[in-house]
Structure 1
Amino acid sequence: MKKKFNIEVPGRANRVLLHTCCAPCSSAIIECMMQHGITPVIYYCNPNIYPIEEYIARKDECTRYSQALGLEIVDADYDHAAWLREMGGMENEPERGGRCLLCFKARLLDTARYAHEHGLGVITTTLASSRWKSLEQINEAGREATAAYPDVTFWEQNWRKGGLSERRAAIIKEYDFYNQQYCGCEFSMRGNPNISKPEP
């Protein structure tokens, strides 16, 4: 794949901590970054994913792709019970509602903390590649997360542009990635005809 558009990293950083939700969403983004001379450090921080088997399946695919490209991947702690407590009272929120915003904030705050502790000055997220997510919510969450760490900047990049969606589909086919059917948490399973909710 050739470059189809230019990207500008804050501060012209050549290393970026990339919060990654899954291999399908991250694949074309990672490729694009590398084509522009940017080395992503993959940060797999997804305590929202349920059940644990789903978390592991997605993490394994991220790891497989990262290792194929010679990239570092960091597996953040998985504590779904703590995530559920943090989402308390928002169980009945719709997708793209207040629960999603709070979830983004929690995951990106953890990403910003890791970046701060490991000398990485820029973070961004593959969540911004999904047409099912609100870019406004993602950017709000990223700005709030990095406000807690003045040495870290959130890179507000729309990862849906420049042919990345089409390239993503090609890479999914090339690597035969597991392609999940729901966002990740048990609440996002509601109303999805392709899956049945596992028992808690």
Structure 2
Amino acid sequence: MNFIRQKLELPNQGKKLLLHSCCAPCSGEVMEAIIASGIDFTIFFYNPNIHPKKEYDLRKEENIRFAEKHGIPFIDADYDVDNWFERAKGMELEPERGIRCTMCFDMRFERTALYASEHGFDTICSSLGISRWKNMEQINDSGIRAAGHYEGINYWTYNWRKQGGSSRMLEISKEEAFYMQEYCGCAYSLRDTNKWRMENGREKIKLGEKYYSNNNL
């Protein structure tokens, strides 16, 4: 591997990081950079937005596989999908990056911050921001808000896209042949993605069939 990133340090002299992970492709490069920097961290997988359960299990198992390969502790949090749908009521037709996504980030980061506070972590962050499809400011605002509820917890706003991070993310995804998710994750993003595909003469998404390889992207 010829990719070189500067050594990272947690903000405010933090010692222990809880990394919220949304999926293996997004977290692969983030994990690699944190490992290379010698930071003590644990993966926290809490994503009740992911729909349907088959897709949730595929994304989670890929993340577990990569964490186990590198000996990183993995916290498998609850899949309280009913709670997510309850919170999303009235937002079913909101666009991507709108208030429904803010609610979703808030929900996931609130649980991450709570776990961090209860289990001796002083810093939280997320792999969500590495995706070019996400609004980094929106994500960071949710993270900072969640961390603010607990004394001694900081949200790390590091930009994982910098210094070739996005390119390395794709390289790792192909090297590991990760499962390739083709929509953000929730039922409404699946609905809207399939609607766009049908309007543009493409087939609907087929869950569990597409994987990264050196022959794609």
TM-score normalised by L of structure 1 = 0.94
Q: How does 1:77-156 map to 2 (within 5 A)?
A: 77-156=78-157
What is the CA-CA distance between 1:69 and the residue it aligns to? Answer: 0.1
Unaligned 5+ residue runs, structure 1?
none
What is the CA-CA distance between 1:3 and the residue it aligns to? Answer: 3.1
Of residues 190, 193, 197, the one that matches 1:191 is 193
**Does the CA-based 8 Å contact 2:15-2:122 persist in structure 1?**
no
Partners of 1:14 and 1:35 in 2: CA distance: 15
Question: Which residue matches 2:47?
Answer: 46
What is the CA-CA distance between 1:183 and the residue it aligns to? Answer: 0.6
**Does the CA-based 8 Å contact 1:181-1:195 persist in structure 2?**
no
What is the CA-CA distance between 1:7 and the residue it aligns to? Answer: 3.0
**Does the CA-based 8 Å contact 1:45-1:77 persist in structure 2?**
yes
**CA 1:167/1:197 → structure 2, altered by over 3 Å: closer, same or farther?**
closer
**CA 1:14/1:179 → structure 2, altered by over 3 Å: closer, same or farther?**
farther
1:188 maps to a residue whose letter is S
Residue 158, structure 1, aligned to residue 159, structure 2 = yes
Q: How many residues align?
A: 198
Larger radius of gyration: 2
1:72 maps to a residue whose letter is P
Partners of 1:170 and 1:14 in 2: CA distance: 29
**Does the CA-based 8 Å contact 1:186-1:197 persist in structure 2?**
no
Partners of 1:86 and 1:147 in 2: CA distance: 21
Secondary structure at the counterpart of residue 5 of structure 1: coil
Q: Which stretches of structure 1, 4 residues or more, deviate above 4 A after TM superposition?
A: none
2:63 maps to a residue whose letter is C
Tell which deviates more after alignment, 183-192 or 66-75: 183-192
Unaligned 5+ residue runs, structure 2?
198-202, 208-217
Question: Which residue matches 2:61?
Answer: 60
Q: Give aligned-pair identity as a percent.
A: 44
2:129 maps to a residue whose letter is A
What is the CA-CA distance between 1:49 and the residue it aligns to? Answer: 0.3
Secondary structure at the counterpart of residue 162 of structure 1: helix
What is the CA-CA distance between 1:191 and the residue it aligns to? Answer: 3.2
